[in-house]
Chains A and B, each alone.
Chain A
Amino acid sequence: MKTHWIDRGVAFFIAGVCIWLYVLARAFPMGGDLFPRFALAVIIVLCAMMFVQTFPGKSKSSAESAPVIQRRDIARPYLLFGLCLLYVLLMVLIGYLAGSVLTALLLLPALGAKSKPVYLMITAGVILFIYLFFSRFLMVQLPVGLMFV
């Protein structure tokens, strides 16, 4: 079963990182190391448990986590996440308004939106509303962008 291998991989990965963090935590000043070390030890034990549970026959829980194969766009979430990171970069560089509009114009086609009113509503309507509401009403100073400073 494929999911078992994913679970095993995750358990190994988390346990590995936590062992490394545990070594780091030993350098913390007295008292400050107690809790992180406790949490890390618990995590490592739980990873072991998760690993053991992946062996079939023992539990049903891992079997039920097998994703139902449906017609979905598996890649799209990663694309969306990438665009969100780009959005952060754009906001830093060209400011909130321009960055949001650009991101929205990349995001909408990526999500498969086709109708023009939707583009207009999101870019002009929502972004402008957020901008005015946050900067004028809530007094949040939205990023202006490094290119303008």
Chain B
Amino acid sequence: MPDILIVLSNLSSSSSILAILGGICGGLVVGFLPGLTSNMAIALLLPVTFVMPPIPALLMLVSVYASSIYAGSFSAILLHTPGTSASAATVLDGFVLTRRGESNKALRIATFSSMVGGAVSALALLLLAPPLSRISLLFGPAEYFFVAVFGLSVVGSLSSGSVAKGLLSGALGLLFSTVGLDLDSGYPRFCFGFNGLHAGLAFVPAVIGLFSMAQVLVMAESSHKSIRRVDAPGGLKWRVFPRLSEIRKIKTTVLRSSFIGVLLGILPGVGADISSWVSYNEAKRFSKKPERFGKGAIEGIAASETANNANTGGAMIPMLTLGIPGSPSAAVLMGALVIQGLVPGHQIFESHGDIIYTVIIGFFLANILMGFIGMYATRYLSHITALPNYMLIPVIVLFSVVGSYSLDHSMFSVVTMLSFGFLGFLMRKIGMPPAPMILGLILGPFAETGFRQALILSQGDLLSYLFKSPISLILIVLTILSMATTVWLNFRKGRKPLLAGQESKEE
């Protein structure tokens, strides 16, 4: 461990402070706009860092990473438009609060949770990087398969109306995830001769479509109303910090979700979106009043937002210690490290300790600072919910289209986004929830590759290969528990039909 004074003097230099503040502000904008992903933002800044000294360069990139994931919640809460795909789960409860005029409450919970989640992950990165990265190595194909199955067990509980419709939505998501070239055989599956489909149905446009475009179409039905139906009970007073009573309500959720976020973050390929869905479901499962989820439960917002920010630090753990990035954004960060001459590996903490510790502590500070800047910005931003729909609709359409386009510079993504938008709209008309479809789309490839790799590696004895590791067993138990709770919840809901699915239809 290098001298703490060196780290502090590194951090307090004007270039470091500027890098963090600039990174946060840039990240907030990118995160707020749908379609602009955090790894796109980091990649865009990468050439800028070529000519910068290592400390400000890396500080800027990690600040962008943290704040862009955080700012995805703004548009999710205010406009039903997840700014980053990782904030899709935040929509479920955050937007309900916005309609009730309580966007401030939703935003301060999201901010608080993101700050804690990010800060915890920074601490994990600082203190627990080597052991945690070893844990990530225990996850092989079988374990990935069970992580995916566990994630998919959420599907049943995400449907507020008919369970069959929720499950159907999830299964359709799985089916959509198989479109495109098969990695193993190179065979074009369900492409119907369209070369554009070889890439598969892109995930980010699908999320933008199912959430923001579908919402816009629904809003068009009553174009002279506005999103905010009523003003907040407490007037328009802006609170930056959550109330003590609120913190008490979400504290276990935040802790659990931080853990889930960091743990899933260290797994390569398992991104912030999966973390947020899994932790949303866990929060719901452990809740005493799970029926409130999806109807403005602050625990739901807290779960999703804590986990996606906790994922950021988690993803950097194997990147720093093993050179294995835990997320696409961490991969770009690794590129930045290498260009600066910092070679990832367990020795990096000794050979470049002063830089690495400065960056980690800077990352911690960025996670705290972004909350204050974010709460200041959203104070003004949240007024957009009072605008009439006929003004918001064109703006959201314009941003969704250009956001999808800029993902890979192709109209194909725009068409994908619009198609999913229309599909999502029709699904809402028949009471089919979009969230399970998103889960099916993200987790489908994990389940499939995990299973097929296990099939190959097991050399004929699949069952013993799948069940041999303790991690698999833990995941199986969790999956069964999760499914059992869903069944039980539905049973309970069946007896209290008045409580269930009332507000969800009132769009």
A residues near B, CB below 8 A?
Answer: 3, 6-7, 10, 14, 18, 21, 24-25, 28-32, 34-36, 39-40, 42-43, 46-47, 49-50, 53, 59-62, 64-65, 67-68, 72-74, 76-77, 79-81, 84-85, 87-88, 91-92, 96, 100, 104, 107-108, 111-113, 118, 121-122, 126-127, 130, 134, 138-143
**Looking across the interface, which residue of chain B has its beta carbon closest to that of A89?**
B411
What are 18 A-to-B residue pairs whose CB atoms are below 8 Å? A6-B430, A32-B182, A34-B451, A35-B451, A39-B171, A61-B162, A65-B161, A73-B222, A77-B217, A85-B418, A88-B411, A88-B418, A107-B397, A108-B394, A122-B398, A130-B398, A134-B402, A138-B36
- Whether A43 and B172, one on each chain, are in contact in the complex, defined by CB atoms closer than 8 angstroms, is yes
**Looking across the interface, which residue of chain A has its beta carbon closest to that of B391?**
A118
Knowing A130-B398, A138-B44 touch, does A81 contact B418 (C-beta < 8 A)?
Answer: yes
- Whether A111 and B161, one on each chain, are in contact in the complex, defined by CB atoms closer than 8 angstroms, is no
Give per-residue flags for B439-465: 1 if the beta carbon is below 8 A from chain A beta carbons, else 0.
Answer: 000001001100110010000000000
Stretch in B65-73, B106-114, B185-193, B474-482 with 4+ CB within 8 Å of A: B185-193
Pick the contact of A112 from B223, B394, B494, B502 — CB < 8 Å?
B223
- Whether A81 and B422, one on each chain, are in contact in the complex, defined by CB atoms closer than 8 angstroms, is yes
**Looking across the interface, which residue of chain A has its beta carbon closest to that of B163?**
A61
Knowing A43-B175, A111-B393 touch, does A139 contact B44 (C-beta < 8 A)?
Answer: yes
Interface of B is mostly: helix
**Looking across the interface, which residue of chain A has its beta carbon closest to that of B222?**
A72
Chain A positions within 8 Å of B190 at CB level: 21, 24-25, 36
**Shortest Cβ distance from residue A72 to the other chain B in the assembled complex, whole angstroms:** 4
Knowing A61-B161, A111-B220 touch, does A130 contact B399 (C-beta < 8 A)?
Answer: yes
Give CA–CA (A130, B163) in the complex, Å.
41
- Whether A32 and B223, one on each chain, are in contact in the complex, defined by CB atoms closer than 8 angstroms, is no
B contact residues, total (Cβ < 8 Å): 66
- Whether B502 and A64, one on each chain, are in contact in the complex, defined by CB atoms closer than 8 angstroms, is yes
The 10 A-B pairs of least Cβ separation, nearest first, read: A65-B431, A61-B162, A111-B390, A77-B217, A140-B406, A29-B185, A32-B182, A72-B221, A35-B448, A39-B174
- Whether B161 and A64, one on each chain, are in contact in the complex, defined by CB atoms closer than 8 angstroms, is yes
- Whether A81 and B217, one on each chain, are in contact in the complex, defined by CB atoms closer than 8 angstroms, is yes
- Whether B411 and A91, one on each chain, are in contact in the complex, defined by CB atoms closer than 8 angstroms, is yes
Chain A positions within 8 Å of B431 at CB level: 61-62, 64-65
- Whether B161 and A46, one on each chain, are in contact in the complex, defined by CB atoms closer than 8 angstroms, is no
Give CA–CA (A18, B175) in the complex, Å.
10
Chain A positions within 8 Å of B506 at CB level: 68
How many A-B contacts are there with CB distance less than 8 Å? 190
Chain B positions within 8 Å of A50 at CB level: 162, 164-165, 168
Chain A positions within 8 Å of B185 at CB level: 28-32
Give CA–CA (A127, B418) in the complex, Å.
19
**Looking across the interface, which residue of chain A has its beta carbon closest to that of B440?**
A39
Chain B positions within 8 Å of A73 at CB level: 220-223
Chain B positions within 8 Å of A42 at CB level: 167, 171, 174
- Most A CB within 10 A of own CB, among B399, B415, B448: B448
Pick the contact of A84 from B171, B182, B418 — CB < 8 Å?
B418
- Whether B409 and A64, one on each chain, are in contact in the complex, defined by CB atoms closer than 8 angstroms, is no
**Looking across the interface, which residue of chain A has its beta carbon closest to that of B168?**
A46
- Whether B398 and A76, one on each chain, are in contact in the complex, defined by CB atoms closer than 8 angstroms, is no
Knowing A65-B162, A77-B425, A118-B391 touch, does A28 contact B221 (C-beta < 8 A)?
Answer: no
Chain A positions within 8 Å of B311 at CB level: none
- Chain B residues 249-273 with CB under 8 Å of chain A are none
Give CA–CA (A139, B452) in the complex, Å.
40
Pick the contact of B162 from A6, A59, A72 — CB < 8 Å?
A59
- Whether B497 and A60, one on each chain, are in contact in the complex, defined by CB atoms closer than 8 angstroms, is yes
**Shortest Cβ distance from residue B80 to the other chain A in the assembled complex, whole angstroms:** 15
Knowing A39-B171, A88-B411, A104-B394 touch, does A29 contact B220 (C-beta < 8 A)?
Answer: no
Give CA–CA (A143, B410) in the complex, Å.
9
- Whether A53 and B164, one on each chain, are in contact in the complex, defined by CB atoms closer than 8 angstroms, is yes
Pick the contact of A80 from B175, B220, B405, B505 — CB < 8 Å?
B220
Give CA–CA (A65, B497) in the complex, Å.
13
Give per-residue flags for B390-428: 1 if the beta carbon is below 8 A from chain A beta carbons, else 0.
Answer: 110111011101100110010100110010011001000
Knowing A92-B411, A130-B402, A142-B405 touch, does A84 contact B397 (C-beta < 8 A)?
Answer: yes
Q: A31-B455, A40-B175, A61-B163 are in contact. List 14 more A-B contacts (CB 8 A).
A: A28-B189, A30-B185, A34-B451, A35-B451, A35-B452, A62-B431, A77-B217, A77-B218, A80-B216, A100-B398, A104-B398, A122-B391, A122-B398, A130-B402
Give CA–CA (A24, B178) in the complex, Å.
13
**Shortest Cβ distance from residue A68 to the other chain B in the assembled complex, whole angstroms:** 7
Chain B positions within 8 Å of A91 at CB level: 401, 411, 414
Chain B positions within 8 Å of A79 at CB level: 220
- Whether A80 and B217, one on each chain, are in contact in the complex, defined by CB atoms closer than 8 angstroms, is yes
- Most B CB within 10 A of own CB, among A35, A47, A72: A35
- Chain B residues 176-224 with CB under 8 Å of chain A are 178, 182, 184-185, 187, 189-190, 213, 216-218, 220-224
Give per-residue flags for B137-180: 1 if the beta carbon is below 8 A from chain A beta carbons, else 0.
Answer: 00000000000000000000000011111011001101100100
Chain A positions within 8 Å of B218 at CB level: 77
